[in-house]
Chains A and B, each alone.
Chain A
Amino acid sequence: MSTEAKRAPAQKQKEKGAPSNNGADAAPANKLAETTPAIRLELLHSMLLQRRFEERCAEAYALGKIGGFCHLYIGQEAISTGVMSMIRPDDYVITAYRDHGQALARGVSPRAVMAELFGRADGCSGGKGGSMHIFDAKTNFFGGHGIVGGHVPIAAGVGFAIKYRRGNQVCVCFFGEAAVNIGAFHEALNMASLWDLPVIFIIENNRYGMGTAISRSTANEDVLVRAQGYRMEGESVDGQDVFAVRDCMARATERARKEKRPTLIEMRTYRFMGHSMSDAVSGTYRTKDELEENMKRDPILLLHNRIFEGGELTEGDMHKLDDEAKAIAQDAWDFADASPEPALEKLYTDVYADTSS
């Protein structure tokens, strides 16, 4: 069960309390975002795990073990890892359909996620959700939603409930840059600001809504303007730099917990794979050159280089870390493969909750 015991960095870091900064990198602007060598290793491990896991998903999809729509997170790992490393276990996370990486970074069992993708009984939704609907109540991971923008008001609702109960949690809501044009996004931002809801809205701007470049879909490419429209704080950060992500998140979480104010963050990133498994990596809507240029800023490479330059990591350590990530992904695969298909009687369960009152 060693793989099951692996926790995402968010949880470990919080358990260790405030880290001290004796790392190689410059001190971040916000003390909360400071890192130790151990934290940096955890960050790297989390990102590697997502990368190796998603690579195995691509393989499983090709083998027909995963069906339907399957959207991979490769290239965007610094965002999930950076964000999750800055929130507490009692905070809430809600996201769209590109959700595997975020689930793993949040600490959802890789086995449960892979079994869900395989449509098996041990999946986190018992095989009823699939790739786009990863849910895990234990880690307050509120899904995996398949309608662009539809979950953004739900995040506001979670924020409303936090406020209603006078809690000091935050709700983090991920969505792509294409969602900023949909009505639900605007309605949610308006209410979050109007009612002072502790929600952090994160635009993962990977520059393409499926195959449509932002310049072809959005009148004002400066998506942060939308924050101003709702009298909300907004920031734009390099989403390939996990430290920049953490730094920004430190400010946003403080704003949410102390000032009860929402934040809109644009995290600039790039998806290295197609929109989904049925989509060419490049060719139709983006060039190979553009892809290769962006892959030079692979977030794992950037983090690796930072740590390596600081002398905290040898090539041997790196290989060991990578082998661990591969082993966890393999274990998840084996577990999912061995898990039975859902019992047919499960077809009819979970449609309604039994109301006992």
Chain B
Amino acid sequence: MAVVTYRDALTQALREELQRDDSVFLMGEEVAQYNGAYKVSKGLLDEFGPMRIVDTPITELGFAGVGVGAAMVGLRPIVEFMTWNFALLAIDEVVNAAAKMRYMSGGQFKMPMVFRGPNGAALQLGAQHSQAWESWFAHIPGLKVCTPGTPADAKGLLKAAIRDDNPVVFLEGEMLYNTKGEVPDGEHLVPLGVADLKREGDHCSVITHGKMALVAMRVADDLAKEGINIDVVDLRTVRPIDVEAISRSVQKTNRAVVLEEGWEICGMGSQVVDFIQRECFDDLDAPVLRVHQEDVPMPYAKNLERAAKPDAGKTIAAIKKVMYLD
């Protein structure tokens, strides 16, 4: 297995799928000549030409709708948002058009498209550029929502998302692009809706997704030194969500901490906790605790930003609490 960055894994996925199927095209701001704001589409314009790697005006609503129209005719658009913060301008096309077209038409139309781009806070980008949107899109029936945390998952999920006949919201971690990891050689697909047990332990389950999967793995490694072994359930896809994997783990450990990047109220964790209370009521030895961003817009100052974000320390504290060790 080769060790590659998360960014290169995504580029590989794009390249392989563009090569595989000429109905696949990529559009978005700065994706072509500039090689992508985050260089995910580096080199693709040269290889595939301007009809398939399309620079758009700064007009998120418009080009998201263009993607929807193209998908209705059977193309497989990949719509890149420079960041998901800008995608709020396009939410009508994602939610009202892409997600519902099949249902409203009684199944007459497929919507084989991917909306992708970086999600979540980076460093000191301030309130408008530091947000995690998964719970917004996971709320919508008709959408699928991927949140890969590792290069291997990023590649495998993106390839599967491009091949999916449904609109997929693909949330990449802005802070993950430079992270490295092993990616299987050759064709590598990760099915949507299947969680991955990233660490195994009996003492507590940490259920997470996206960038926080890395934090959870670090926590697992740290706690192992103290003799505490945790399950890290990386959901990878938050819609459809792998309830079985969650239940399996919690039924084993009897305790759970749900870790996410977004805010508390109506966050992904709220839903996970609901699944746990329904599926694992008699298995719980402690209330499920959540770790998430503090309930404030992201501040700019370094120390405040650090305090606002979920992190390893907060996660460890929560784990010890549900284990009655604090």
Q: Give the B-binding residues of A (Cβ under 8 A).
A: 92, 94, 123-129, 133, 135-137, 142-147, 150-165, 171, 183-184, 187-188, 190-191, 194, 349-355, 357
Is there an interface contact between B71 and A125, defined as CB atoms closer than 8 Å? no
Can you report 22 residue pairs joining A to B where beta carbons are below 8 Å apart? A125-B104, A129-B105, A129-B106, A133-B104, A135-B104, A137-B109, A142-B72, A143-B101, A143-B105, A150-B92, A150-B96, A153-B64, A157-B68, A157-B71, A157-B77, A159-B69, A160-B69, A161-B73, A184-B65, A187-B59, A351-B103, A353-B110
Is there an interface contact between A154 and B142, defined as CB atoms closer than 8 Å? no
Please, which residues of chain A bring their CB within 8 A of the CB of B36?
Answer: none
> For chain B, which range describes its interface: under 10, 10 to 19, 20 to 34, or 35 or more residues?
35 or more
Is there an interface contact between B93 and A158, defined as CB atoms closer than 8 Å? no
CB-CB nearest in chain A for B79:
A157
Among B25, B70, B92, B163: residue with most chain A CB under 10 A: B70
CB-CB nearest in chain B for A171:
B69
Inter-chain pairs besides A133-B104, A154-B65, A191-B57, 9 sampled, C-beta below 8 Å: A128-B103, A137-B105, A159-B69, A164-B75, A187-B63, A191-B66, A350-B107, A352-B142, A354-B165
Please, which residues of chain B bring their CB within 8 A of the CB of A187?
Answer: 57, 59, 61-63, 65
Give the Cβ gap from A179 to chain B, nearest Cβ, in Å: 13
Is there an interface contact between A153 and B61, defined as CB atoms closer than 8 Å? yes
Which of B62, B69, B104 meets A161, CB within 8 Å? B69
CB-CB nearest in chain B for A144:
B104
* Interchain CA distance A222-B193 in the complex, whole Å: 51
Give the Cβ gap from A192 to chain B, nearest Cβ, in Å: 9
Please, which residues of chain B bring their CB within 8 A of the CB of A126?
Answer: 106-107
Please, which residues of chain B bring their CB within 8 A of the CB of A129?
Answer: 104-106
Is there an interface contact between B166 and A147, defined as CB atoms closer than 8 Å? no
- Taking CB atoms and an 8 Å cut-off, the chain B residues in 40-73 that contact chain A are 51, 56-57, 59, 61-73
B264 at the interface (CB under 8 A from A): no
Q: Give the A-binding residues of B (Cβ under 8 A).
A: 25, 51, 56-57, 59, 61-75, 77, 92-93, 96-97, 101-112, 141-142, 144, 163-166
Is there an interface contact between B65 and A157, defined as CB atoms closer than 8 Å? yes
* Interchain CA distance A241-B92 in the complex, whole Å: 35
Is there an interface contact between A158 and B72, defined as CB atoms closer than 8 Å? yes
Which of A145, A162, A184 meets B73, CB within 8 Å? A162
Is there an interface contact between B70 and A161, defined as CB atoms closer than 8 Å? yes
Please, which residues of chain B bring their CB within 8 A of the CB of A159?
Answer: 69
CB-CB nearest in chain B for A147:
B96
Is there an interface contact between A156 and B105, defined as CB atoms closer than 8 Å? no
Please, which residues of chain B bring their CB within 8 A of the CB of A123?
Answer: 106
A-B contact count (CB 8 A): 154
* Interchain CA distance A128-B104 in the complex, whole Å: 6
Is there an interface contact between B166 and A353, defined as CB atoms closer than 8 Å? yes
CB-CB nearest in chain A for B240:
A352
Is there an interface contact between A157 and B59, defined as CB atoms closer than 8 Å? no
Is there an interface contact between B66 and A156, defined as CB atoms closer than 8 Å? yes
Which of A125, A151, A191 meets B62, CB within 8 Å? A191
Which of A146, A156, A161 meets B65, CB within 8 Å? A156
Give the Cβ gap from B92 to chain A, nearest Cβ, in Å: 5
Is there an interface contact between A160 and B106, defined as CB atoms closer than 8 Å? no
Is there an interface contact between A161 and B105, defined as CB atoms closer than 8 Å? no
Please, which residues of chain A bring their CB within 8 A of the CB of B65?
Answer: 150-154, 156-157, 184, 187-188
Give the Cβ gap from B5 to chain A, nearest Cβ, in Å: 27
Is there an interface contact between B105 and A133, defined as CB atoms closer than 8 Å? yes
Is there an interface contact between A135 and B25, defined as CB atoms closer than 8 Å? no
Please, which residues of chain A bring their CB within 8 A of the CB of B102?
Answer: 350-353
CB-CB nearest in chain A for B100:
A133
Please, which residues of chain B bring their CB within 8 A of the CB of A357?
Answer: 163
* Interchain CA distance A353-B164 in the complex, whole Å: 9
Please, which residues of chain A bring their CB within 8 A of the CB of B93?
Answer: 150, 153-154
Is there an interface contact between A183 and B61, defined as CB atoms closer than 8 Å? yes
Give the Cβ gap from A67 to chain B, nearest Cβ, in Å: 16
Given A150-B93, A351-B142, A157:B72 Cβ within 8 A:
yes
CB-CB nearest in chain B for A189:
B62
Which of B68, B73, B96, B108 meets A125, CB within 8 Å? B108
Among B63, B65, B74: residue with most chain A CB under 10 A: B65
CB-CB nearest in chain B for A121:
B106
* Interchain CA distance A124-B66 in the complex, whole Å: 25
Is there an interface contact between B103 and A184, defined as CB atoms closer than 8 Å? no
Is there an interface contact between B164 and A355, defined as CB atoms closer than 8 Å? yes
Given A133-B105, A351-B103, A355-B165, A147:B68 Cβ within 8 A:
no
* Interchain CA distance A164-B72 in the complex, whole Å: 13
Given A187-B61, A351-B142, A153:B66 Cβ within 8 A:
yes
Is there an interface contact between A188 and B62, defined as CB atoms closer than 8 Å? yes
Is there an interface contact between B72 and A156, defined as CB atoms closer than 8 Å? no
Give the Cβ gap from A102 to chain B, nearest Cβ, in Å: 15
* Interchain CA distance A92-B69 in the complex, whole Å: 11
* Interchain CA distance A164-B52 in the complex, whole Å: 8
* Interchain CA distance A357-B164 in the complex, whole Å: 8
Please, which residues of chain B bring their CB within 8 A of the CB of A137?
Answer: 105, 108-109
* Interchain CA distance A350-B142 in the complex, whole Å: 9
Is there an interface contact between B25 and A164, defined as CB atoms closer than 8 Å? yes
